[in-house]
């Protein structure tokens, strides 16, 4: 399989997600802390479900989604 980009914001590839799961990540925040997937501008809106399914496929365990944290969209410091 081609090594596609899973997290388009941070440029994290399929192989990097798999590597972080092999390293022990059992939920989306674990992957996020290892390779920044889901930490870009869209805040995991695009990649979170994919990462979740990859974790469930690799570990065979249900993986919780990350909690939404404020601010839910990137905002300018001047607007806060």
Question: Judged by CB under 8 A, which of 29, 42, 58, 59 binds other proteins?
Answer: 42
DSSP label at 60?
S
Calpha distance 53→38 (Å, rounded): 14
| Shortest CB 66 distance to other proteins, Å | 17
| Shortest CB 1 distance to other proteins, Å | 18
Question: Judged by CB under 8 A, which of 41, 49, 57, 64 binds other proteins?
Answer: 41
**Could you please report the per-residue DSSP string of 37-55?**
TT-STTTTTTTHHHHHHHH
Question: Judged by CB under 8 A, which of 68, 70, 72, 76 binds other proteins?
Answer: 76
The angle at the Cα of 68, spanning 17 to 64, to the nearest 5 degrees, equals 50
Residue 16 in contact with other proteins, rule: CB under 8 A: no
Q: Which residues bind other proteins (CB under 8 A)?
A: 5, 8-12, 40-42, 45-46, 74, 76-78
């Amino acid at each position: 399989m081609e090594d596609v980009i899973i997290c388009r914001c941070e440029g994290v590839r399929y192989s990097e997600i798999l590597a972080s799961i092999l390293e022990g990540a059992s939920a989306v925040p674990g992957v996020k802390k290892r390779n920044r997937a889901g930490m870009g501008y869209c805040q995991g809106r695009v990649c979170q479900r994919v990462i979740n399914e990859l974790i469930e496929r690799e570990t065979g365990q249900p993986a919780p989604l990350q909690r939404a944290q404020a601010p839910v969209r990137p905002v300018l410091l001047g607007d806060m």
